[in-house]
Structure 1
Amino acid sequence: MALPWYIRILRPVNAVMAGIASLLGVIVATGTIPPMSLLLVPVVFLITGAGNAVNDYYDRDIDAVNRPDRPIPRGEVTPEGAFRYSLLLFVGGVLLATLASPACLGIAVLNSLVLVLYARNLKRLPLAGNLAVAYFSGSIFLFGGAYAGVEGLLLNIPVAGITFLCMTSREILKDAEDIEGDRIGGAHTLPMITGVRNAAALAFLLALCAVIVSYLPIFPWWGAVYVGAITVADVIILAGAALSLRCSDPSCVRASNATGILKNGMFLALAILIASALLL
């Protein structure tokens, strides 16, 4: 009976999506998906799943308030079992990365360390935790690009930058939603210090910066068709972030669905970037 919960603690849907996202980095770098690059998917899946498991271990008190349906608060997985499980997954992901490239191995090791530091320390520091999550999200594209060498990694920097800015914006808003549970768990997030309204303003500014980067003529596929398509995604991103500007309390941010709309806009923007790379 415990096995499904050990699968659930990985957040398997998110982990699979992260693995597939690494292939998008390969596409940006090469315009195709070489068969051997499929190895990147299980590497990212294992490391992402490990990060989710170790995060649940360190967040078990907070999750008892904010996410009582997760495996540890429900008593379906012990904290010690989740921690050992995460270590096993980290080791498996890093070992598998040795079959890719030295650059991929380096990123795999760095990201494993960042995920542990995030769960243990950074998440409870204002803004630092948000930046760590955003870095990991953006680095998935760098990981895919690194499979094709330094040039492939460089081609993915703008895509990673847009992802980093959007994710930082969304993570700040998620913290604004979770102030009550974070306070009980002893976290000190940015919205707790600045207030929800100021945090929402910063989130909007970061989303605006992501939109500006998306318009810069730094992409090989930059042109009228790309600009027209990316404008649709950018409008959704800015609309999502703008919904939170009127909020001064966590319940308002949750009711606005700003984080969900912002996520949808970001996914659409990434889809447009990848489609542009394929068409090029």
Structure 2
Amino acid sequence: MSASAFITITRPHNAVVAGLTALIGYLIATGTLTPPSLLLAVVVALTTAGGNVINDVFDVEIDLINRPKRPIPAGEISLAGAKAYTAALFSGGLLVATLTTTLCLAIALINSVILIAYAVRLKRTPLLGNVAVAYLTASVFLFGGAFAGVEGLVQNLSLAAITFLATIAREVLKDAEDVDGDAAGGARTLPMIAGVRRTGAFAFACACSAVLVSLLPFGDWWGPFYLAGIAVVDIVILFGASRGLSCTTPGCVRDSRATSILRAGMFAALAVFAVAAVI
């Protein structure tokens, strides 16, 4: 077994970014960062890494065809070794979470269970898989805020809700892009059941809901700067989602770049919240 493969299989860039996002969640909730808050990044990075590894464990047959260079199909890590590694990563994340707060530990435990359920079954379940991804993405902000107690978690509810709704919009549009490949692989996704056009309409409705949530006067960060910044973000999110409204084919959704625009809008929203929290 290759030592470098144990790093590659965790998708380290993805795990590190998720960990840093938890710190931003704490920053938004409190307006500052403290040395103990670094524990949040460690927990999220380990848990995300565990989720990435277990995904590869359950996708090994697909990866043998589509991604033969991934560590497991390439023979760099055995299936048994990957399963043990998964357990070690999740256990490590939960162990570090015990050094945070009870609320953080509860979120870490719930998310670990959902990551496992996603790899085992939810990924292949229409819409529920999208909802699981959206929750996991949004919950990183709740986790960061929870380190400051219930009050901190509440401060981050708006950002979590915006992220949840915008992520669902992006995820179903990504599924619309991949209809042909998913059909060949035997998957069942929302666009395959409801059609690309209806999926685009659903994504736009989610984006509109995210915009409405963003305008609610909910946290200490709400004020003139926030409203000015989030107005620009909302335009980007609505523009991105609207690009998929008229599409009836996967190729049209890909060409619209709707998912890329939505992703940019979500990153912009994070920046607006972070700056508003510290000024």
The normalised TM-score by structure 2 is 0.93
Structure 2 stretches lacking a partner, 5+ long: none
Q: Does residue 212 in structure 1 map to residue 205 in structure 2? A: no
Please say if residues 15 and 46 of structure 2, whose CA atoms lie closer than 8 Å, have aligned partners that are also in contact.
Answer: yes
Q: What is the alpha-carbon distance in structure 1 between the residues aligned to residue 180 and residue 22 of structure 2? A: 35
Aligned position for 1:90? 90
In structure 2, distance between residues paired with 1:248 and 1:57 = 34
1:127-206 equivalence runs, <5 A: 127-206=127-206
Cα separation, partners in 2 of 1:69 and 1:272, compared to 1, 3 Å: farther
**Alignment check: 8 A CA contact 1:61 1:185 kept:** no
Q: For 1:6-45, what aligned pairs fall within 5 Å after superposition?
A: 6-45=6-45
Does the 8 A contact of 1:62 with 1:181 survive in 2? no
1:224, distance to aligned residue in structure 2 (A)? 2.6
**Distance (whole Å) between structure 2 residues aligned to residue 80 and residue 184 of structure 1:** 28
Match of residue 272 from structure 1: 272
> Is the deviation greater in 187-196 or in 218-227?
218-227
**How much does 1:260 deviate?**
1.3
Distance in 2 between the 1:79 and 1:177 partners? Answer: 30
Distance across 2 between alignment mates of 1:179 and 1:30: 42
SS at match of 2:243: helix
Q: Contact between 2:15 and 2:49, CA under 8 Å: does it hold in 1?
A: yes
2-side partners of 1:180 and 1:77: how far apart? 30
* Distance in 1, Cα, partners of 2:196 & 2:84: 36
User: Is the 2:155–2:218 contact (alpha carbons within 8 Å) kept by the matching residues of 1?
Assistant: no
C-alpha separation between the residues in 2 aligned to 1:169 and 1:243?
A: 12
Q: Indicate the percent of aligned positions where both proteins have the same amino acid.
A: 54
Q: Which runs of 5+ in 1 are unaligned?
A: none
2:38 aligned partner, one-letter code = L
Number of aligned positions between the proteins: 279
Aligned equivalents of 2:246 and 2:117: distance in 1?
33
Structure 1 residues 146, 58: CA separation in 2 closer, same or farther (over 3 Å shift)?
same
Deviation at 1:77, TM superposition (A): 3.6
Letter in 1 for 2:83: F
Deviation at 1:58, TM superposition (A): 1.5
Paired amino acid for 2:111: N
Which of 7-16 and 249-258 deviates more? 249-258
TM-score, length-scaled by structure 1: 0.93
- Which one-letter code corresponds to 2:268 in the other structure? L
Q: Which position in structure 1 is the counterpart of 2:121?
A: 121
Equivalent residue letter for 1:159: L
Counterpart in the other structure of 1:103: 103
Task: Indicate the SS of the match to 2:26.
Answer: helix
Whether the 8 Å contact between 1:53 and 1:86 is mirrored in structure 2 is yes
